[in-house]
Amino acid sequence: MEPDELYSLRNQFWLGQYKLAISEGLSMSPSSERLRIDRDVFVYRSHIALNNYSKVLSDIGENSPTDLLAVKLYATFLNNPGQKDMVLMTLNDWLGDEVSGGNNTLKLIAGQIYLQLGEIKEALKIIRSDATLEMLALKIQIYIKIQRVNLAEQELAKMQDRDDDSTLTQLATAWVYLALGESKYQEAAYIYKEQIDRSGPSTALLR
């Protein structure tokens, strides 16, 4: 198996170590165009998490790959909620396109936008393919939000089957444990402590 060039960057993002993720991304020289796009996606999503919307909006040009255009659209949505209708219209156009419609970053971003708008059914519809661990993790967050922990457990089982060792799977396990209630709090705390001991504290782990 070839080494995962984005392993550290991906984990830093998932753990909420956004400044480290940006630094890591800027120091990398990925070996393929696909990996370069994925690197940029995580770097710009880290900027969004830090509310650096202007950086994303100014850096990503109109001719950028669909993945990055989706990230830019998310920054547009967060930076100016008044443009919601334009953002949704653009999302629907891209999702309906036979070329861009299958893009997993676009689907993930669309799911996040619809979730923030409270459009639960639409969010779940868009990410129903379970194409990536992040889509499964988003489904878990949605099911916990609507208090359907049993469904969250089913999605967690899919994540565990796909990559039980993934940092994101471990974090999702902690989310589900917390949602299950007091009987699982200690197990959730153990997972968070393990991640903090390994990677250091972050807002995402401490809140």
The average pLDDT across 113-129 equals 95
Residue 2: the pLDDT is: 58
The distance between the two most distant Cα atoms of the chain, rounded to a whole number of Å, is 51
183 sits in which H/E element: none
Average pLDDT value for residue range 111-116: 96
d(CA 154, CA 48): 30
DSSP 130: -
Tokens of 96: 């309906």
Supply the Cα-derived Rg of the chain in whole angstroms: 17
Mean pLDDT of 129-155: 95
- The answer to whether residues 107 and 131 touch, using CB atoms and an 8 Å cutoff, is yes
Which positions ≥6 away from 152 have C-beta within 8 Å?
Answer: 139, 140, 143, 144, 175, 176, 179
Q: Mean pLDDT over all residues of the chain?
A: 93
Predicted pLDDT of residue 183? 86
DSSP 54-68: HHHHHHS-TTS-HHH
Digit-coded pLDDT (tens) for 172-183: 999 999 999 988
Per-residue pLDDT tens digits for 152-162 = 999 999 999 99
User: What pLDDT, on a 0 to 100 scale, did the predictor assign at position 8?
Assistant: 94
